[in-house]
Structure formats: C-alpha cells, structure tokens
Amino acid sequence: MNTRAIKVAGFAIAWIAVVGSVAMPSAAADGKLIGTAGLTQIEGSGGGGIVPWATLAGYDSREQISVGATLSRVDVDDFRLSMLSASISLYDKVEVSIAQQHFEIKGAGVDIKQNIVGLKYKLYGDVVYSEWPQVSVGMQYKHLEDSAVASSVGAQNSTSGTDFYIAATKVHLGAIAGFNAVWNLTARATKANQMGILGFGGPQNNDYELMLEASAGILFSRHIALGLEYRQKPDNLGLGEDDWTDYFVSYIPSKHINLTLAWAKLGSIAGAPGQDGLYLSLNGQLW
C-alpha cells in the first residue's frame, strides 16, 4: 500500500468521525469501564506502549463506534521516533488503525518514514467480564517511504512487510491488595527489523519468526496505572537487535484522554548499544 492510499484511509477515518458526530450522537462510545480500553502502542494499534493487546482502541460497546487519535515520541541516546496515528473501533468487534512513524538519526539529518495500516478482530470474550481472557487476532502492514537505509544494512525486503499476531488480555478486579490488575500476552509472526524501520528479513534470517510479547500493570485508581512491558525481537540483520522493555505510568483523567510516560530500554539499534530513554504518548478519543 503506497503513501497516497494511507492518506486516503486517514481521510476516510476523519470523515467518519465528522459524519458520526453530527448524525449519530447516540453512538458515542461510553460502554466500558474507564481504563479498560488500554492505550495506543507505537505502531498505532490498541494496546500498551510497545505491545498490541486484545483490547480494541476505544470504549465502544456492541451498539457503538469510537474514533481516536494518538501522538507518541520515544527519545533515546542516538535516535528519536515519533508516531501519529488514528483509529476507529466498530461495535466492540473490529479495529482499524493507520499510523506514520518518523525515525530520526540524531545529528545525521536522516528521517526514515514508515506508514502502517493495522486491522484487529476480536475473537472471544470481554477483558473484564468473561471468565477467560479476551482474545483478538491482528495484522500490521508496514511500508517504508525511503528504503535506502534498510538496503544499506542488508534487509532482504527494504520496502514493505506484514506482521501477524494473536493477543490475550485480562483485567482482574480487586486482584492485588484491592487494586485492579491487567495482563496481556501476544504472539507475533514477523520479519521486521526494528519494527520495519530497517526493513524486513536479512542475511541471518528471511523467514517469519514467532516473537513473544507481554504486559502487566496495576490500576491504583480509576485514573492511574503503573506497569511494565516486554517485546522479543528477531535479529535478522546480525546487528545484535535486542529485545525491548519499558516501565510506564498512565494518567487517565477521563475516557476522552490519557497520557502515558515510560522509561524505554531498547538496547542495540543498528549496532549502537544502550539505547534507553523517555517514551511519551498522548491519546484522545474523539467519541
């Protein structure tokens, strides 16, 4: 999918938001407990900061839709990643998202752009009320606008690739000293190098590999959550790509907005070790 198609998809989501706010005020998404919609991860899908969850990116019930937008930034020693995304969640069943990432190499004047289209479908359950976890399947199609850097480091496919995942998420009410707890497990099939910023596949491996991802957190009130995440990464290029972790605190004053601050430990990126720094994300639900 090219950049024009992504821009058209973004316009479509924005148009749905405008039309819906005028014609369907009764469809405003308020059907879930505050905080149970999760956040928006760095690739635009509903979830944590670096891990997609089974939750959909909104508070819609079976009769509602929701539309949201997110701005995120990760600033580590030698690199900076910015992400702008929009998503629509339909009837507590389907999520569609679009995102654009800007990956900057500090001091080098290099800005790599990656466009992502995500799709998620809920297979089973409710994150709070079902006995077993909510389970969803999803995909993320990724397209690099400039493939020069990916080619230079040896990516087998320096233009585009697709990740596939299945996620299970559960909120346990009053589970830890009376506070609500949440956990998520995700299995991702991927060829992506550094999420796709450095292309897909490489001299070490050009096949899909199954990577495990996990999140856990405690909701200390209706508005404050603390937790951590882990994301396993392939090393297709032989550059020592490390797994990712982050430690986050989220402030959720209402269902319309949330703010997340995290300390991200991203390890080695393109051979540069020790890439740690701050992650900041602001999400707004238009309805």
DSSP string, 101-132: EEEEETTTTEEEEEEEEEEEEEEE--TTTSSS
pLDDT tens digits, residue range 84-117?
999 999 998 999 999 999 999 998 888 999 999 9
pLDDT tens digits, residue range 1-50?
444 544 444 444 444 444 343 334 434 455 677 767 778 999 999 999 99
Residue position matching structure tokens 């559960």 = 170
Instruction: Please give the C-alpha separations between residue 235 and each of 157, 185, 207, 268, in angstroms, as whole numbers.
Output: 15, 21, 11, 11
Cβ atoms of 127 and 35 closer than 8 Å: no
Cβ atoms of 38 and 58 closer than 8 Å: no
In whole angstroms, what is the distance from residue 140 CA to residue 95 CA? Answer: 12
pLDDT tens digits, residue range 167-192?
999 999 998 999 999 999 999 999 99
For the chain, give the percent of residues with pLDDT over 90.
69
Instruction: Show the tokens assigned to 10.
Output: 């973004």
Backbone angles phi, psi at 117, to 5 degrees: -115, 125
| Mean pLDDT within 133-146 | 96
Instruction: Show the tokens assigned to 117.
Output: 């289209």
Enumerate the domain spans of the chain: 3-285
pLDDT at 57 over 90: no
Task: Write down the pTM of the prediction.
Answer: 0.87
CATH architecture of residue range(s) 3-285: Beta Barrel (2.40)
| Mean pLDDT within 270-278 | 93
Q: Smallest Cα–Cα separation from 286: which of 11, 66, 108?
A: 66
In whole angstroms, what is the distance from residue 249 CA to residue 94 CA? Answer: 27
